[in-house]
Amino acid sequence: MHIICKQELLINAINTVIKACSTKTTMPILECILINAHNNQVTLVGFNLELGIESTVEAEVIEEGSIALEAKIFSEIIRKMPNEMVELSTDAHQMTKIICEDCKFAISGQVGEQFPDLPQVEKHKPYTLSQHTFKEMIRQTIFSIAQEESRPILTGELLQVKGGFFRMIAFDGYRVSYRQIVLQTECEMQEVIVPGRTLNEISKILSGDETSIINLYFEDKNVLFDLGGCKVVSRLLEGEFLKYEQVFSADYGTRIEVNRQKFLMSIERAALISREGKRPIKLEIDADNMIITSKAELGNVHERIGIELEGNEISIGFNPKYLIEALRCIEDDRICLHFTSPLAPCIINPIQGEEYKYLILPVRL
């Protein structure tokens, strides 16, 4: 293999695909980035058998071929090169020369053909979203996936296409985060469970730009995210996900409207006391006010916020972390909370519409 490529383009592609490289593995080739030069096109690939990322780079192919280079050292070398043309060439023993102006590296690589193939996902009809929207939907739900592996299905998110909507739902056993958008085109019902790690990594690659698009292709075992110059393939999680439609009950005894920012700041302060004592915070809701309190050995806190109440007064306890994480990712100035009883979940949603729904289980006081 012998190629010439701009340092800037090469490091961008490395930064993208390295997110899928293994760091600790019994298969050392998975710690490599595969460089593939065929048909006058160069692609870089990272793949840890669960998540694979492939990026195409504009380059001059002098001799076709492929090589797998240890990702960490390869990325460090290219990152520190001058922003000029970089020449990569391999010999018969996988020794790879990397030359840029007056600096010359030679590092040993591995046979490219030994690098495992990415799963092939057929490109039938895609779902198309703006990258910005998908990035926001991930941010607004991913904090609710389970961190521990005891129920693997909960470490992923449900991506669902149904009735003209695209939805993302995360559930860790204590809370549900739900986001939906209207799809521009009519699509048949389909759903997959995507590992949280895949969504985390893809979110770092997604552009914040409204005009960039992403195409999603669902299959039984795999999902393909096509961002144009870069493709992400991921294995899916298998199993039964929460029947989320049933948990968002329309019944409630108490509905309040509150300023999101003030509510968030108050809970963040109350959490300072609650966290030290690992105690819940208490919300007491009456006609005009919500009083937030917490007590621990080191002291206590008492916060008051004005609200608009509809329905019954209520006192209820929460782990403040769950409220804080949901409130931080909402953008509306005013939000709506629904309660039924001190032992039933609270639901946070917009004043109007169903763009997002956050369900949080209370804590017994």
Q: Which residues bind to a second copy, rule: CB under 8 A?
A: 70, 73, 76-77, 80-82, 95, 102-108, 265-266, 268-269, 272-273, 276, 298-305
- Decide if 169 contacts 178 (C-beta within 8 A): yes
The minimum distance between CB 279 and a second copy, in angstroms, equals: 14
Nearer to a second copy, 38 or 80 (CB): 80
Q: Most distant CA pair in the chain: distance in Å?
A: 80
The minimum distance between CB 265 and a second copy, in angstroms, equals: 7
Rg (CA), the chain: 25
At 10, list the tokens: 């090469």
Q: CA 176, 181, 182, 183: dihedral to nearest 10 degrees?
A: -100
The minimum distance between CB 95 and a second copy, in angstroms, equals: 8
Q: Write the CB contacts of 76 (distance below 8 Å, at least 6 apart in sequence).
A: none
Nearer to a second copy, 182 or 298 (CB): 298
Q: Write the CB contacts of 283 (distance below 8 Å, at least 6 apart in sequence).
A: 290, 291, 292, 314, 315, 316, 317, 318
Q: Write the CB contacts of 323 (distance below 8 Å, at least 6 apart in sequence).
A: 267, 281, 360
Nearer to a second copy, 73 or 351 (CB): 73
The minimum distance between CB 73 and a second copy, in angstroms, equals: 6
Nearer to a second copy, 109 or 196 (CB): 109
The minimum distance between CB 120 and a second copy, in angstroms, equals: 33
The minimum distance between CB 332 and a second copy, in angstroms, equals: 21
Of residues 234, 233, 216, 211, the one with CA closest to residue 133: 211
Of residues 175, 118, 146, 156, the one with CA closest to residue 326: 175
Q: How far is CA 151 from the centre of its chain?
A: 19
Nearer to a second copy, 73 or 343 (CB): 73
Nearer to a second copy, 5 or 230 (CB): 5
Nearer to a second copy, 33 or 194 (CB): 33
- Decide if 356 contacts 350 (C-beta within 8 A): yes
Nearer to a second copy, 41 or 114 (CB): 114
Q: Is the dihedral of CA 53, 15, 141, 281 positive or negative?
A: positive
The minimum distance between CB 256 and a second copy, in angstroms, equals: 16
Q: Where are the alpha helices (DSSP H) in the chain?
A: 7-17, 71-80, 131-139, 196-205, 244-247, 260-276, 320-329
